[in-house]
A = this chain, B = another copy of it.
Amino acid sequence: MRRDPEKTYEKILEVSSKLFFEKGYENTSLQDIVNNLDGLTKGAVYHHFSSKDDILDAIEDKLLVENNPFKKVLVYSELTGIELIKKAFLLGIEDQEQQYYNKISMKIWRQSEKIQSPKMIAKMIEINKNILAPDLCKIVEKGIKDGSVDTKYPMEISEQILLQINIGLLLAISDITEKELTGKIEFISEWTKNMGVDFLDKELKEKLKHVFMEYCE
Given contacts A118-B121, A122-B118, A190-B195, contact A163 B156 (CB under 8 A): no
Q: Which of A16-24, A72-80, A165-173 contacts B (4 or more CB under 8 A)?
A: A165-173
Q: How far is the CB of A133 from chain B (nearest CB, A)?
A: 10
Q: Give the complex CA separation of A156 and B171 in angstroms.
A: 14
Rounded to whole angstroms, the CA-CA distance of A183 and B88 in the bound complex is: 25
Interface residues on A, range: 20 to 34
Q: What residues of chain B lie closer than 8 Å to A168, measured between beta carbons?
A: 159-160, 163
Cβ contacts A180-214/B at 8 Å (1 or 0 each): 00011011001100110000000000000000000
Which B residues touch A184, using CB under 8 A? 156
- Closest B residue to A194 by beta carbon equals B194
**A interface, over-half SS:** helix
Q: Are B118 and A156 in contact (CB under 8 A)?
A: no
A37 CB–B CB distance under 8 Å: no
CB distance from A135 to the nearest CB of B (A): 17
Contact status B114-A126, CB under 8 Å: yes
A123 to B156, CA, bound (A): 24
For A155, the chain B residues whose CB sits under 8 A away are 183
A115 at the interface (CB under 8 A from B): yes
Answer whether residue A129 sits at the interface, using C-beta atoms and an 8 A cutoff: yes
Which one of B125, B187, B190 lies within 8 Å of A121 (CB-CB)? B125
A42 at interface (Cβ–Cβ under 8 A)? no
Closest residue on chain B to residue A118 by CB atoms: B122
